[in-house]
Structure 1
């Protein structure tokens, strides 16, 4: 039997309302893990209830269910569907802003002018004030995102290139909120476009994931290997729910010596307004790593190292 594209399989199961298959489980697992990673209080069971029926029950009588958690979980289902329908579209401002508008539709942020839902941030933000992880200033976001779009336009099934493009999006943090979820949706969509195995980042790896993003300029192997592990997980899903039915590529080895050709400093290291915002500019992740040469990989890694010689 002829194998089909993964995106076509997912869309077919969606359109035929197949229950319990790859599309069904992708929707629930992706929405639960990605939202829970960002603070959603919904359980896996409640996420499944919401997908199945459009309603949910509290796990116990004293539970409070936040309206925004319900809205954003439902919106994630819709954003995933939208990404499937636009899988071969280029990653550009229109695409990422459309996803952001879908994710935040009907939430308490939708009509907050300072949130600028469906557009780039207009107020500076940080990933972690305690850890000092600052992001690109609003005035510099358009230039930084052009570099992100360029990386995605040239993307191949290359573990380092995939990790770098994702890190560039997350370190730019182009939106007021929802950057992690949009970045993971874009990465999933782009791997579908390449007919490769997508990455479904699990909430149980949240701490490893945030650490890997933070340390990427010095130790890219943490993020590269973590994303490979998450792709292994999704590959097992493919072979469980659609064995021998889907064609896909999966390069699961990477060569540290070969990545030097990919290394470019972030374009906004020379962007305007840096001199006016030293408290942020001096702490951009890329500001201290203009040449971005990776250090030797540590002997112990949080995931299985897969460098090839």
Structure 2
């Protein structure tokens, strides 16, 4: 739903990118702080922190090119597909993995999990099934809640399949946001403070052959406050933009205060 994307202001897109990059990476153990993430992505500079590793730096930075790809694809009405999922993984693991954008060829495991991930030979078919099931459930959904629940169920399944050798968590959360934005819903950013509960919800659903309705409802109740807060955040950024426009002779011009301090937002503003 490209119309929904067009309603998101450049400043909001910068804001959500920074928070998504920080929290999604932090859930996987990345130690870069939120202010440092903003410095890396918005100011294109390296924070003055000698403890930041090369891997941590690119885990955060790679979210920029990935998020831009996601927005571009949705604006072009590109549906979620195997190739889109592989592209998301390739961009998120750029300069980090030799097999970026390729499904795993050997067994992998989730630390502490009481179940096995999918065998490599089954991954292509399972991901195709995941996309097909997701599309069907979205097509027959009668409310936004049902759409969100379908997307959450697919996320549970994606993480259980664990289709790539590494980077499955960050990829799965970006794919989940692709589906949300594609369906005109706000993005979901699970903050690092809720990492334990998030992993517990996933694990309890994944130890079964298929997640139960109760598992999905529990997941929905967990994320619903995040989605509601994101709606308010979108409204706040939209309100800010509208009230920073000055009309002269019927022509809208930007108030100087509207200009973003970030290079990325400045570039977008010039393109508008």
> Structure 1 pair 176/192, CA: closer, same or farther in 2 (3 Å)?
same
Q: Hey, what does 2:228 align to over in structure 1?
A: 232
Q: Matches of 2:175 and 2:227 in 1, distance apart?
A: 15
Deviations 1:164-191 (A, max 9, x none): 1111111111111111111111111111
Greater per-residue helix proportion: 2
Q: Hey, what does 1:22 align to over in structure 2?
A: 12
State the structure with bigger RCO (CA 8 A, min sep 6), 1 or 2: 2
Q: What is the DSSP-based 3-state SS (H/G/I as helix, E as strand, rest coil) of the residue aligned with 1:242?
A: helix
Q: Hey, what does 1:204 align to over in structure 2?
A: 193
Q: CA deviation at 1:244?
A: 10
Q: Hey, what does 2:60 align to over in structure 1?
A: 73
Q: Matches of 2:26 and 2:156 in 1, distance apart?
A: 20
Q: CA deviation at 1:53?
A: 2.0
Q: Hey, what does 1:148 align to over in structure 2?
A: 130
Q: Hey, what does 1:51 align to over in structure 2?
A: 41
Alpha-carbon RMSD across the aligned residues, in angstroms, is 2.1
Q: CA deviation at 1:124?
A: 1.0
Q: Hey, what does 2:22 align to over in structure 1?
A: 32
Q: What is the DSSP-based 3-state SS (H/G/I as helix, E as strand, rest coil) of the residue aligned with 2:110?
A: strand
Q: Hey, what does 2:150 align to over in structure 1?
A: 161
Q: Hey, what does 2:106 align to over in structure 1?
A: 123
Alignment of 1:174-253 (within 5 A): 174-216=163-205, 217-218=211-212, 219-220=214-215, 221-243=217-239
Q: CA deviation at 1:228?
A: 1.5
Q: Matches of 1:76 and 1:89 in 2, distance apart?
A: 19
Partner residue of 2:70 out of 65, 83, 86: 83
Count, aligned residues = 225
Q: Matches of 1:131 and 1:191 in 2, distance apart?
A: 27
Q: CA deviation at 1:131?
A: 3.5
TM-score by length of structure 1 reads 0.68
> Structure 1 pair 244/160, CA: closer, same or farther in 2 (3 Å)?
farther
Deviations 1:25-60 (A, max 9, x none): 10110100001111112111110100122222245x
Contact 2:180 2:186 in 1 (8 A): yes
Contact 1:121 1:138 in 2 (8 A): yes
Q: Matches of 2:225 and 2:188 in 1, distance apart?
A: 8
> Structure 1 pair 69/137, CA: closer, same or farther in 2 (3 Å)?
same
> Structure 1 pair 131/193, CA: closer, same or farther in 2 (3 Å)?
closer
> Structure 1 pair 244/164, CA: closer, same or farther in 2 (3 Å)?
farther
TM-score by length of structure 2 reads 0.77
User: Can you give the 5+ residue segments of structure 2 that lack an aligned partner in the other structure?
Assistant: 206-210, 243-272
Q: CA deviation at 1:222?
A: 2.0
Partner residue of 2:118 out of 133, 136, 140: 136
Partner residue of 2:5 out of 1, 4, 7: 7
User: Can you give the 5+ residue segments of structure 1 that lack an aligned partner in the other structure?
Assistant: 14-20, 247-309
Deviations 1:202-233 (A, max 9, x none): 11111111111112225412212112122122
